[in-house]
Amino acid sequence: MTLLLFLLLVVIGIVLLGRRRLRGGLAFAIIALVWLFFAGCGPLTAMLLGHLQAGFAPDVAQWGKRNAIILLGAGTVRSGAGAIEPSLFANGRILRAAELYRSCKATGADCKLEVSGGDAMKLQQAEADVYAVTLDRLGVPRADLILEARSMNTFQNAQFSKPLLVAYGADKVVLVSSAAHLKRALLYFAHFGIRGDAVRGDYVTARYDWLPDSGNLAYADLAIHEYIGVLRYHVYNAMGWNAPRVPEEKPTAQTPT
C-alpha cells in the first residue's frame, strides 16, 4: 500500500510533466519522495505504530473466577513439506496465550482458551485447528480449548465468539493479538458487547535509517491497514451495514466445568 501510493503519486507527476504542467508535476514528485522517505526511513512508520500499540501490556493484572482467553488468528501457511502451520505473526500470539493460560490456572481459577479463526487462507484447515496442535504441545489441555473455526476476519472473530462466551459464562475476557491489531479488535468486540483486557503477543518498532527500508514500508502498510479497518467500521456503522450492536451482558453464575 505504501509503495502503491508512492507509485501512484509518481505516475501522476509524470503525466502532469508530460502535459507541461511543471509545477503540478514537480509537486507530486516531491510529495512522492517525501512519503517514501518518511515512511521508509522510520519517522512516519514510528508515529503510526506508536499510536496503535500504546498502552497494551504483555500480561494480566488480575484474573476472575471464570476466565476466557481469546487468541485471535493471524493466518496459516503451507510449508515446503506440505504441512499447514501457524504464520510468522501467529507464533507470538500463540506463545502469549499459552503463558496466560498457565498464569490463570496457577491462581486456581477456571480458565478456557478460545482460538478464533477459520480457513481464511483457503488451505483446507481452519486456523483454530492448526493453532490447537501447537497449544497442545505447549501444554494446554484439549479440554480447556474452545475452537471457533468459522470466522474469516476480525469482525467475525467477535461475532462468532459472543455465543461461546455466553455459553461458558466468562466473568473475565482477555484478548490476545499483535499490539498493532488490538485497537481494532477491541472496537469490534465491543460492538458485540464483549469487553475485556487486551494483551499483546508481539510488538514491532520502526528502524531509523538514512535510506528507505523495506521493513519500515511493510510496517507502515500494516499500520495503515489497521487505521483503514477502524475507519471502515465507523463508515459501515453510519451506513447501517454492520450487524446490529449487541449490548454488554453480565455473566450468570454457572457450575464450573
Mean pLDDT of 198-217: 95
Q: Is the pLDDT of residue 255 over 60?
A: no
The CATH number of residue 71's host domain is 3.40.50.620
User: Between 214-239 and 22-40, two packed helices, what is the crossing angle to 10 degrees?
Assistant: 100
149 within a domain of the structure (yes/no): yes
Nearest by Cα to 71 from 132, 126, 124: 132
The contacts found for 8-16 with CB under 8 angstroms, 24 or more apart, are 9/35
pLDDT at residue 256 greater than cutoff 50? no
- pLDDT for the residue numbered 252: 52
At 250 the pLDDT is 60
Percent of the chain with pLDDT over 90: 79
pLDDT for residue 20: 76
* Residues of the domain holding 134: 53-205
pLDDT at 59 over 70: yes
pLDDT digits (tens, 9 = 90+) for 166-199: 999 999 999 999 999 999 999 999 999 999 999 9
Instruction: Judge whether 97 lies within some domain.
Output: yes
- Which of 15, 24, 49 is closest to 218 using CA atoms? 49
Residue 126 inside a domain? The answer is yes
**Cβ contacts of residue 162 below 8 Å, gap of 6+?**
192, 193, 194, 246
Overall number of domains in the chain: 1
pLDDT, tens only, 102-160: 999 999 999 999 999 999 999 999 999 999 999 999 999 999 999 999 999 999 999 99
Q: Is 167 inside a domain boundary?
A: yes
In this structure, the number of other CB atoms found within 10 A of the CB of residue 7 comes to 12
User: What grid cell was written down for 34?
Assistant: 517525501
Work out the pLDDT band at 5, boundaries 50, 70, 90. Answer: confident
Which strands form 145-148's sheet, in the order they lie side by side?
A: 145-148, 110-116, 66-72, 172-177, 197-200
Average pLDDT for the chain: 92
Name residues whose C-beta falls within 8 Å of residue 169's C-beta, 6 or more positions apart in sequence.
66, 251, 252, 253, 254
Grade residue 247 by pLDDT with cuts at 50, 70 and 90.
confident
- The mean pLDDT value for 20-46 works out to 87
